[in-house]
Chain A
Amino acid sequence: MKKLIAIMLCLAMVLSLATACANEDTPATDAPATEAPATDAPATEAPDASDEKVKISVLRPGDEEKVRAFLEPAIAEFEAANPNIDVEPVYQSWAGWISLYPTQFEADTQPDVIFWWDNKMFDASAHDSIVNLEPYLSEGFTEQIPESVWELVDCGMEGVTYVPSSVDSFALFYNKEVFEAAGLDPNSPPTTWEELYDTCKTITEKTGKPALGVPAITGAEVLEEFVALFVTQSTNSNMLDENSMPLFNTPEGLEALEFIESLVPYFQPSATEYGRGELRTACRDGNIAMFIDGPWAVTTFTADQGVNLDASEKLGIAPVPQKDPANPINWSGTNGWIATREETAEASAKLIEFLMSPEVLEDHHIAYGSAPLYDVEFENTEAFGYDYWKVFYDSAANDTLYGMIGRNSATPAAYYTALEEVWQQLILGTMDAETALAEAAAAAESVTVRNQ
């Protein structure tokens, strides 16, 4: 036994020495890009410009495999074209990045170029680091992105601080087989609130199945976005004004919540256990008839049904039902690029511009399952030559868009947390619409007041 202990302790020593050595390296940002993509081009061209090489790091959070797939070739190409810029990719999962970006910004170890959110521009940790890119961007660059999208992401900061890259608006996904089973026409999904309600009612009455899936899991920010769709459709304004005070505490806001309340009997049971992923599977398997989701859901279905969802006998994708079809309104979240250091702003702007060039953006969208942002992306018929992509693209280009909550606040995440408690009670049917409206407004206000 003693021998065993001795062996164990020795092993522990050796291992700890190993860590101590492995530990010598400095924080990720200034570490040499030893893992730089194994391309042939840059290495040989380096000498002439090596004395003033700029090093920048870039982060696109998400599934590492997918990110690598488009980011590494893009970086290799960029470095070849810009031999004096050295780009090092950083990988993080979304969840990891969300819980840890405050630390990185406060410790000034954040990557130079980051795939960011439009509602976190005033985030207390990040706001002061975000750089205005306007002086460095080439002329006409901003014009390739639709005006409606620029309006969506405008948060009142000077210049161009955020370059939207993925615009993820909602669509209605539905299971055609369930529609048929309920005696409904699988090719005419609901387009208005009234139709949505009637469809829900018919489906649940005829098939006994829950008609509409609602993602209500705690802490994932998804429920607030579901509710916000209906609320902004009704109020035709953002959830909060530029001082972060609630704009939804109005008769129109109440109308939206009452509409949601009327749908409660048709939501799936155990709603608070469902995230978006579970709804996708449940709808595919015909356990729920419809749900509202972004373009991210498409990849889940194409993996199963083949790429041409237009031809699917099983799944349909349609624009979200409108309160007022004459004035279509959609919720839309965006992700886009920011630069976080003045010293590297020029190089960062170059990289961002490159990442926004149609070919690279297209690869980015294909790799990650986002809808096209540029018209020209549709020329790639293999990836985007389908009608369902038009659903997302048309909505982003033509609808009035309202986005994520808290864009003018130092603590955007706090609104999600505060409102989620109220919305969960609303969709569980334990709180009526009127109380929910008052409570939600009070909750949002209290977050705002604390930041004043």
Chain B
Amino acid sequence: MKRQQRIRIIFSLLPVALLLCFVYGYPLIKAVTNAFMGFTGKSAGTFVGLRNFRIIAPDIGKTIWTTLVWTFGSVLPAMVLGLALAVICNNKFKGKRAVVAINLLPYAIPLIIVASCWRFVYNSDFGILNVLLKELGLIDKSISFLGMDLALSSVIVARIWRALPLAFLNYYAGLTTIPIDQYEAASIDGAGPVQRFIHVTLPNLRSVTSSTLIVLTVWTFLVFDIIYGMTGGGPVDATKTIPMRIYSEMFAMKDAGTAGAWTLIAIVIMVSITLLYWKLDNGED
């Protein structure tokens, strides 16, 4: 019986393990070793130590900063707005189904189409945002939303748009698990709606908040499609996040070494966040 069990376990997990090793394990190890190998010119195929990191060194600081601004600038607002919407929708009212459905829509759309649609919003000639602002008389010259100064904020708004439904859903599901008697008890103690929100709702949403925060952070960190489709990393280096760097090293420069170096940096950050997630999640059971 024991033996049979072991065979079952092995046979059930083996295909999954093999596929994941081939798609994740091997490439990840390879990317990490590539970070220390040469791929261009004479150095091709040799061990080059930290040379790849030296090549990308001038860009590392700015790129990580841009990536962090992009990540937290979109995750935190998405979560606050998601929570707000979840609280609104936690009551029964006319048209709630429609509100939920409409606000879920961004979550269904392929990221590359998200990028395409937001370009229609931001375009400086026919973009609806510029048209609206002009119509309202707030501006008389188009604002260059995808220009040097605003490009990062503009892609962040697009990212918020896309991430909001996920935060909303998590909070929406989280709110329904809060026992109603806690609210009743608070009301009897004379707590108003604001106090009830602070003392009952928020503490109960702690674990939802931490898991949503980490999931969104990790995914936003490495989102490629939206930026690639909206600005291509430009103008200049305004929206060059780590994924954009990996891509351009790989395809414009055809250098798997520097691409590997960027990947290694990304992995270090990712693994730290995942470990944190793992710890928080298990610490709460």
Interface residues of A (CB under 8 A from B): 99, 102, 124-125, 216-219, 269-270, 272-273, 278, 282, 410-411, 413-414, 416-417, 420-421, 424-425, 428, 430, 446-447, 450-452
Given contacts A269-B124, A273-B124, A273-B144, contact A411 B42 (CB under 8 A): no
Q: Compute how far the CA of A416 lies from the CA of B40 in the bound complex, rounded to whole angstroms.
A: 18
Interface string of B111-143 (1 = CB under 8 A from A): 000000000000111000000000000000110
Q: Compute how far the CA of A397 lies from the CA of B267 in the bound complex, rounded to whole angstroms.
A: 54
Given contacts A269-B124, A273-B144, contact A450 B236 (CB under 8 A): no
Contact present for B125 and A269 (CB under 8 Å): no
Q: How far is the CB of B196 from chain A (nearest CB, A)?
A: 36
Of the residues B141, B231, B235, B253, contact of A450 by C-beta under 8 Å: B253
Q: Compute how far the CA of A452 lies from the CA of B42 in the bound complex, rounded to whole angstroms.
A: 6
List 3 A-B pairs, minimum CB-CB distance, nearest first. A218-B234, A219-B232, A270-B144
Q: Is B146 interfacial (CB 8 A cutoff)?
A: yes
B interface size (C-beta, 8 A): 26
Of the residues A99, A270, A273, A424, contact of B251 by C-beta under 8 Å: A99
Q: Compute how far the CA of A210 lies from the CA of B40 in the bound complex, rounded to whole angstroms.
A: 43
- With a cutoff of 8 Å between Cβ atoms, the chain A residues found around residue B40 in the complex are 410-411, 450-451
- With a cutoff of 8 Å between Cβ atoms, the chain B residues found around residue A410 in the complex are 40, 254
Q: Compute how far the CA of A30 lies from the CA of B255 in the bound complex, rounded to whole angstroms.
A: 31
Interface string of B134-173 (1 = CB under 8 A from A): 0000000110101110000000000000000000000000
Q: How far is the CB of B220 from chain A (nearest CB, A)?
A: 21
Q: Compute how far the CA of A450 lies from the CA of B40 in the bound complex, rounded to whole angstroms.
A: 6
Q: Compute how far the CA of A425 lies from the CA of B148 in the bound complex, rounded to whole angstroms.
A: 9
Contact present for B235 and A411 (CB under 8 Å): no
- With a cutoff of 8 Å between Cβ atoms, the chain B residues found around residue A452 in the complex are 41-42
- With a cutoff of 8 Å between Cβ atoms, the chain B residues found around residue A428 in the complex are 147-148, 235-236
Q: How far is the CB of A442 from chain B (nearest CB, A)?
A: 10
Total cross-chain contacts (CB, 8 A): 78
Contact present for A218 and B235 (CB under 8 Å): yes
Contact present for A413 and B252 (CB under 8 Å): yes
Q: Is B233 interfacial (CB 8 A cutoff)?
A: yes
Contact present for A218 and B232 (CB under 8 Å): yes
Interface residues of B (CB under 8 A from A): 40-42, 55, 123-125, 141-142, 144, 146-148, 231-237, 248, 251-255
Contact present for A272 and B147 (CB under 8 Å): yes
Contact present for A218 and B231 (CB under 8 Å): yes
Given contacts A272-B234, A413-B252, contact A282 B144 (CB under 8 A): no
- With a cutoff of 8 Å between Cβ atoms, the chain A residues found around residue B237 in the complex are 421
Q: How far is the CB of B256 from chain A (nearest CB, A)?
A: 12
Contact present for B144 and A424 (CB under 8 Å): no
Q: How far is the CB of B116 from chain A (nearest CB, A)?
A: 13
Q: How far is the CB of A226 from chain B (nearest CB, A)?
A: 15
A interface SS class:
helix
Listed A/B pairs (15) with beta-carbon separation below 8 Å? A216-B235, A217-B234, A218-B232, A219-B233, A269-B142, A270-B147, A410-B254, A411-B40, A416-B252, A420-B234, A424-B235, A450-B55, A451-B40, A451-B41, A452-B42
Contact present for B254 and A124 (CB under 8 Å): yes
Q: Compute how far the CA of A414 lies from the CA of B237 in the bound complex, rounded to whole angstroms.
A: 15
Q: Compute how far the CA of A451 lies from the CA of B255 in the bound complex, rounded to whole angstroms.
A: 9
Q: How far is the CB of B204 from chain A (nearest CB, A)?
A: 30
Contact present for A411 and B124 (CB under 8 Å): no
Contact present for B125 and A282 (CB under 8 Å): yes
- With a cutoff of 8 Å between Cβ atoms, the chain A residues found around residue B147 in the complex are 270, 272-273, 428
Q: How far is the CB of A59 from chain B (nearest CB, A)?
A: 19
- With a cutoff of 8 Å between Cβ atoms, the chain A residues found around residue B41 in the complex are 450-452
Q: Which residue of A lies closest to B249 (CB)?
A: A414
Q: How far is the CB of B92 from chain A (nearest CB, A)?
A: 23
Q: What 8 additional pairs, Cβ within 8 angstroms, besides A102-B254, A269-B124, A417-B253?
A: A124-B254, A218-B235, A270-B144, A272-B144, A413-B252, A414-B254, A428-B148, A428-B236
- With a cutoff of 8 Å between Cβ atoms, the chain B residues found around residue A450 in the complex are 40-41, 55, 253, 255
